[in-house]
Amino acid sequence: MQRVRKQVEDYGDTAAKGGDGIVVAMLDTGVAPHPDLEGRILCFRDFVSGNGSPDRHGTAAYDDNGHGTHVAGILCGSGALSGGRYRGIAPGARLVVGKVLDGQGDGAAETMLKGLDWIMGLQERYSIRILNISVGIGDLEDEQKERAMKEKLKQLWNRGMLVVCAAGNKGPGDGTVSSVGGDSMVVTVGCHDGNYHAGSLWRCEICSGRGDPRSAVRKPDLVAPGTDIISCCGNCYRFHGRWLNPYMAKSGTSMSTPIVSAAAALALRKYPAMNNEECKRKLQYTATDLGAPWNQQGWGMVNVRRLLE
C-alpha cells in the first residue's frame, strides 16, 4: 500500500484532502471495529445472518472473515496503530458497508442483490459516490440472477455512482475477468505490482483475471498493486492495554480494487463537479502504460499523482 500512497505524498495530497467528505460503499465480508477505522463507518448491515435487521453503526459492525476489514483499511484506514505507516490511500473517506459474504468468504447471488438494493436506497441519504466490490464474481449458474446483478450495477452507474470491481483471481487465461467486472459500466481493476519482486511466481498478477481479446469491451480498465498489501486485520484485539495483531498482509485483485476506489475518492474530493464517467476516463487516461498486453493491464497502472495533477 505504501508503494501507491507514496505517489500521493510525493504530489502533496492537500488538494485532495485525503478524500474528506467522500462516501464509499462496500459489499464484502463486513468490517471490524478496528482502531484505524474509528469514526469511518457511517452505516452497516448484515445480509448474511441478519437479513432485514436494522442498520448499525461504528462498533456494532463486525467481520468474521477479515477480508472486508483489510479492504476498508486500504481505502481509508487512519494508520493510528502504526504511527501512520499503514494509513489508507484516502483516510478522509467514510464507509457504508454491507456484509454479503460469510465467515468463509462465500456468498449467494440473492444476498448480493439485496446488498445492491440497499446501497441504492442509501445513495442520496449518504451522498455515496463510489461502490467498491472486491469480490471476484465468477459466471453464475443462474443466468437470470447474473443478468439481474449486472442490471442493478448499471442502475447504480446511471444514477452517478462510480462502481469499482475486482477482475478476480482466475487468470492468467484469456476471458477470466469476473463476470460482473466484464461489464462496460464498471471500472474493472486487475493486479500488477510493477517491479516489485519482478519475475516471482507468487505475485498476484499471475492469477489476475484477464479480458477476452475478442470482446468489444476491453477489460480490465487498469491495474493496481495487490501483492503483500499490509492493512487492517479483522482479528485485532486489546490485551493488557496493548493492541495485538493489528495488521496483516493479503494479496489479490481484492486488494488492488480499493486502491483504485481510494484514488477515485481523492479525485472526486479535488474535483467535486466531476461525474462518474469523467472519473473513469481520468483514471484510465492518467494510468501508466506498463507495456503489458491490453487484456492484462488495460490502460495501465493507476497513477495517483498524475490523476490529481
pLDDT of residue 140: 52
Contacts of 137-144 with C-beta under 8 Å, sequence gap 24+, read 137/112, 137/168, 137/178, 137/179, 137/180, 137/181, 138/168, 138/170, 138/178, 138/179, 139/179, 140/109, 140/179, 142/109
- Cα 150 from Cα 113, distance rounded (Å): 10
260-298 burial code (b ≥16 CB/10 A, e <16): bbbbbbbbbbbbeebebeebbebbeebbbebebeebbbb
pLDDT beyond 70 at 281: yes
Residue 13 pLDDT exceeds 60 = no
Q: What CATH number does the domain located at 2-308 have?
A: 3.40.50.200
The residue with greater pLDDT, 13 or 55, is 55
Cell of 261: 476506489
- For residue 103, pLDDT over 70 is answered with yes
Q: Please tell me the predicted confidence (pLDDT) of residue 1.
A: 61
Domain ranges of the chain: 2-308
User: Of 208, 254, 256, 261, which is the active-site residue?
Assistant: 254
Give the SS3 label for residue 122: helix
Name the pLDDT band for 277 (thresholds 50, 70, 90).
Answer: very high
* Candidate list 13, 28, 36, 46, residue with the active-site label: 28
CB 130 within 8 A of CB 264: yes
Which member of 13, 36, 46, 67 is catalytic? 67
Average pLDDT, integer, range 269-280:
96
211-251 confidence digits (pLDDT tens): 999 988 889 999 999 999 999 999 888 888 888 899 999 99
Q: What is the mean pLDDT of residues 279-304?
A: 95
128 in Cβ contact with 119 (< 8 Å)? yes
Can 28 be counted among the known catalytic residues? yes
CA dist., res. 227 & res. 1, Å (int): 9
pTM, rounded to two decimals: 0.94
